[in-house]
Every structure is written in C-alpha cells, then in structure tokens.
Structure 1
Amino acid sequence: MLLAAQFPGRDHTDVLDSTVAAAVAAEEAGFDDVWLAEHHFMSYGVCPSAATLAGYLLGLTGRISVGTAVSVLSTAHPVALAEQAALLDQVSGGRFRLGVGRGGPWVDLEVFGTGMDRYERGFEESLELLLAGVSGAPMRADGATFGFREVRVVPPPRTRPRPDVVLAAESEASLRLAADNNLPVLLGMHRSPREQAELAAVYDKAAREAGHEPPGPLVASLAHVADSGEDARAAVLAALPRWLEPGLAGYVPVDGRPRPRRDPHGYARFLCDTHAVGAPADCAARLVEQVRTTGAAEVMLMVEAAGERRAVLDNIARLGAEVLPAVRAALA
C-alpha cells in the first residue's frame, strides 16, 4: 500500500519517483498486489489520481496486480471512473483492481464542485452507477444526483462479470452497503486488528442477511522490518511523526466543522504496538495473528514508514524475502 507520502525534505518529483520504484520493487520481491492511495492538496499523499498512477504502473510491471486504495467516489463522476476501470482492465489483462471510498468532508468537495450533498447523501447512487458501468451492461440514471439516457461503457471490461471492486468502509452504513452489493471491504490501518475484526463481524452479519457468503476483508497494516524489534521501532518513531504532523493537517473540512486531530507521536506508537513492526519473525507472527483475528483474505502493508527511498526499498525487499514466505507458510 503506497501513499506517495511526502516526508519533510523531499520534493514531489522525488516522492513520485520513489513510489514508482517501490511498486516495481514490490513485484520483484514477490508481493501479489500494489495498492495506491489518492489524496488532494496535501503532503500526506501526493498522488491525486490513483487510477492514473495505476495505469502507469501496470505498463511498467508484468505480473503484479495494481489497485486503488482508494479512488474517492464523492469527487468523481462514477461513470467516468467506471470507464477508466474498464479500460485498465482491458489493457492490463485483468490486473487492475478498483478500490473506492466515500472520502471525507474535505475541501476537495468544494474544488471539484460535487459538494457535501454528494458526500452525505449521494454515495449509494454513485456506487450503483459505478458497479453498473464496470459490468459493461446497459445503464441509465434517474436519481436525485444523476440523470441520463441509456448508455453502455465502451470498451467493456475484459474480466467477467466485472473487475474486482473493493469498498473502504468505516461506518455501519458503509459496511451494510458493501454487504448488499456483495463487495469485499477494506479496513484501515488506523484501527487495531481487534477493532478491524469487530467491523468485519458487522459486515459478515450484514452479508449473510443479504443472502451473500461474505468474502474475507482486506485489512491494512503498517509493516517495517529490521534486525531487531528495537531497531524497527526506533526507525518508525523517528520518521513517521515528521510526516504525520504536516500531513494530517492537510485534511481541511469544507464546512468548517471541528476535526479532532491525532497526536502524531501517539499514533506512531499505536502503529508500532499493534502492527507488523519488528524483527522478521515478529513481523510474520503479527501478520499471521492479524489474519486469524480478522478473517482477512488479504493484508495491505504500508511500507513507507521509514521515509527515505533507500530505507523503503530495503524494507520491501526484506519483507518479501524474510516475512511474506513465513506468513504464507503459516496460513497455508
């Protein structure tokens, strides 16, 4: 999971070059997927279009799947996003995965002209149109937000019945929406594995009530490996708050509502305490425990915690060589 995080002292070109290098390194290290975050107008992440960067990376790689985590549906036209997804699915041979989410009440809504109404009340309608579009079926809209005559996305996707679509979910309403549409959910790394498991249980119940066999969630975890737990923790605690402090400040509510802010140092300690930060065996054990606790089908690893390009690439290589094989063996 690559955020294109702009740590202090790094310019945008360096960050994006490093993100591309990290994705290529992930394929070489044996990862199954690369997931790209999308943010606007902030240093927390400097990729404003996860789908665009995914297209570039699909052209650079040959095996690994590339997904968006997530494309923000509240600021995008759902049919335009469906067209992008179908096109990337076609040209990549089915290696593109589309993660979508509601986003937040941020200034992006004002800049892109979608407004708070799309964020608060239009998400379900947007998701319905997106799913219709990526299925390649004829569709029309007669809703509160969208209205158009019947059209069909051209080209349709190569993958049938549709490319992978994943929904980021934080609330019970979003979990139920994912369950009703038989979509797997993405659960963020700002929660502990036990908290992720609680959300997964709500989703499982809702999916069964909707008549679906619930797929396991995708769960996020920070992952940083070093020779010892002390070295790993020290690297994360030294670097991560320097990024988090200015990065989290970039979330500006469009309507002036008060926004509680995480303490960067406390959040870094929380991530070290609850996620895969440590020596190789400890990282593997934590990831296995997270999968077993949450019932996860997949785990996304945020690998950029050390900040510097060389440190991130070394982390990816070591995770691929020393951690992932142990996790896969334990869960086989």
Structure 2
Amino acid sequence: MGVFLIAAGFPGTDPGDVLRHTVEVVEAAERAGFDDAWIAEHHFMTYGVCPSAVTLAAVALGRTSRITVGTAVSVLPAQHPVALAEQAAVLHHASGGRFRLGVGRGGPWLELEVFGTGLARYERGFPEALDLLCEALSGRPVSADGDFFRFREVPVVPPARMSPVVACTSDATARLAARRGLPMLLGMHVGDEEKADMVARYDEGREGVGRPPHLREEDARPAHIAAAVCHVADSTARAVRELKEALPRWLEPGLAGYVPVDGRPRPRRDVPAYVDLLCRIHPVGSPEHCVEKMRATVARTGLRHLVLMVEGTGSPARTLETVARLGAEVLPALRSA
C-alpha cells in the first residue's frame, strides 16, 4: 500500500507550500505504516506543481528512514534517459535502495518544445528511450546507435541495477512493458474492469518472451501497481460530498494546462462526470467502504499493490487526517485479510 501524490495546485495555493506539504504527507505516510509514496511530475501547469519528481523524491527520502519513494512518473520523452538513470542511481545508493523509478510517455505537451526533445521523441521514440534507460540501469557500460540516441560507450557512474515501472494507458504500452518484463503502473482514470483488461493484455504480450534477467524465476509476473483516488470520512456520503465540492476547483483550471505543442485538439473532460466516476470506482467513503472497495479491486484484477491519491480535498489538514485514518482503520483490515 502506498500514497500517490500529484502535488495538486488548488486555486489560491502557493506552489512552494504545496511542495512542502507533499513532503509532509510522505512523512505522515511513513508514520501511518504505508510501504511507499509516489510523486508525480508535471510541467508548466497547476494540475501538478512538481516539475521534477526525482528532485522532490530526494527531499522526501532525506526526511524519512523506512518508506520507499518513487516517481509516478518521470516523463521520459522530456529528458535524456541516461541522465535520468544517473539521477536514479544516485538516489538508489544514497537512500539504501529506497528509491523506485517510474517512467511514462506523457503527452504531446509544451515540455517537448521547451526542453528541445521534440514531438518525434514522444510519438516514435519511447521504446528506444525505454531500452536505453534499462541498459543504463543494468550496471554495465552503455552506448547507443539508434534513431534518437547515438554516442560512444560510457560507464554509468555510479552503476546501479534497477528496473523502472512503466505507466501504461494503452494496449501498445502494456505490450511494450510486457516484452521487457517491466511492471505496469495503471492510472486512477480507469476502474477495475479496465485494469483487469490491461493486465490481460500484458499477459498476452508476455507469451513466448523469455524471462528478463531482472525478473526472478519464481515470479509469475512483475508486481504491477494500481493508482486510485481515496478519501476517508465518517460516512461515505460525507466523503463523496467533500470530493465533489473540492475536485472541480482543481480539475477545471488544472486540466486546461495540458497544451498540445503542435496545435492538435486537446482532449476535453466533462469535469462533474469525471468526479462522479472517480467517487464511484475508487475507495471514497467510510473506512469500512474503503476496505470493501480495495478488496474488490484486488479480487477482480489480481493486483496486489495499490497507491492512493489522498489530496482530493485540497486541504492539507484533511489530507493528513485521511492518511492517519487509513493507517489506523484501513490498512490493518486489508492486511489481515
């Protein structure tokens, strides 16, 4: 069980305060007994005000002693995979192995222009970048002679043997992760049926593929991770009401920050309908309701690693209260089952 932190920029909040509070939530999650915390990365928008998940993860690792901290996700098309591998290796060693790297394809957004990586890296270069990242995290020297990366062999210093988690929102990405034996991170925008279907697509992609060197022989498949919105209150009605009042204030301006770099039409969401969906498919409610919903997710999908987005009210105090109540009233019931 983990927490998933977007560093959401609710209207009227100061980004610096949001970042400090995000680290405080990681500390609270450690006290509450969570296993890990995952930090999102966004650029040039208020939806999430953390532009470097690796940097904020480093701060959180320095303020904790037990909990694992990961990125969910570092946007791979916006940066050089070897540079990202170097940063991951530093955190891996400095934290005693408590860092996990999650990467994703992202979207056709403005960072591709600002950072000079280009639209082609997003549209065609993700498999090459992912392979190069994995090679740079293999503990061996790395070189490249591909369409997007070409350089002589160099040692990666410090060397580290790590495997990234891959955010998957399409069959193509799920099959890509499957062929490389990498675990998936499944987003909070889909419910149990869609998550189960993605796991099935992954398993199909694994057929006929040999065991990757980082995957233990006794593992049937890598340990996938599923994100979900979570909010706890004394009653389910109150929890739902609080999110339905708060989430639109964040989502309406936040989603507008997704600006396509090439002028293509931007996908639109019906925000009230989206909030209603999130409250219905995720553990939003009383502690008993949250336990029931998470048990149902595990039973339907087979996924056994859940990470919970707990910032939905935009209130630091309510977020910390939700984390504490999850630790006291939800996690013990789930683990005893």
8 Å contact from structure 2 (residues 134, 163) kept in 1: no
Which residue type is aligned with residue 204 of structure 2? K
Q: Which runs of 4+ in 1 moved over 4 A?
A: none
Matches within 5 A, 1:155-166: 155-157=158-160, 162-166=161-165
Q: Structure 2: which 5+ runs fail to align? A: 212-219
- The answer to whether residue 6 in structure 2 is matched with residue 7 in structure 1 is no
8 Å contact from structure 1 (residues 94, 163) kept in 2: no
Matches within 5 A, 1:120-135: 120-135=123-138
Q: What is the match of residue 84 of structure 1?
A: 87
CA distance in 2, matches of 1:312, 1:81: 30
Q: What is the match of residue 139 of structure 1?
A: 142
- Note the C-alpha offset of 1:163: 2.2
- Note the C-alpha offset of 1:208: 2.8
Which residue type is aligned with residue 153 of structure 1? V
CA RMSD of aligned residues (A): 1.0
- Note the C-alpha offset of 1:7: 0.8
Q: What is the match of residue 248 of structure 1?
A: 255
CA distance in 1, matches of 2:234, 2:143: 57
- The answer to whether residue 327 in structure 2 is matched with residue 320 in structure 1 is yes
1:209 aligns to what SS in structure 2?
A: coil
- The answer to whether residue 259 in structure 2 is matched with residue 258 in structure 1 is no
CA distance in 1, matches of 2:296, 2:113: 42
Which residue type is aligned with residue 280 of structure 2? D
Q: What is the match of residue 57 of structure 1?
A: 60
Which residue type is aligned with residue 219 of structure 1? A
Q: What is the match of residue 237 of structure 1?
A: 244
1:163 aligns to what SS in structure 2?
A: coil
8 Å contact from structure 1 (residues 168, 187) kept in 2: yes
8 Å contact from structure 1 (residues 225, 277) kept in 2: yes
Deviations 1:137-162 (A, max 9, x none): 111101011111111111112xxxx2
2:151 aligns to what SS in structure 1?
A: strand
- Note the C-alpha offset of 1:170: 1.2
CA distance in 1, matches of 2:303, 2:10: 30
Matches within 5 A, 1:1-332: 1-157=4-160, 162-212=161-211, 213-330=220-337
1:250 aligns to what SS in structure 2?
A: coil
TM-score by length of structure 2 reads: 0.95
Deviations 1:28-54 (A, max 9, x none): 111000000000000000000000111
1:176 aligns to what SS in structure 2?
A: helix
Which residue type is aligned with residue 315 of structure 1? T
Deviations 1:53-91 (A, max 9, x none): 111111110000000000000001000000001111011
TM-score by length of structure 1 reads: 0.96
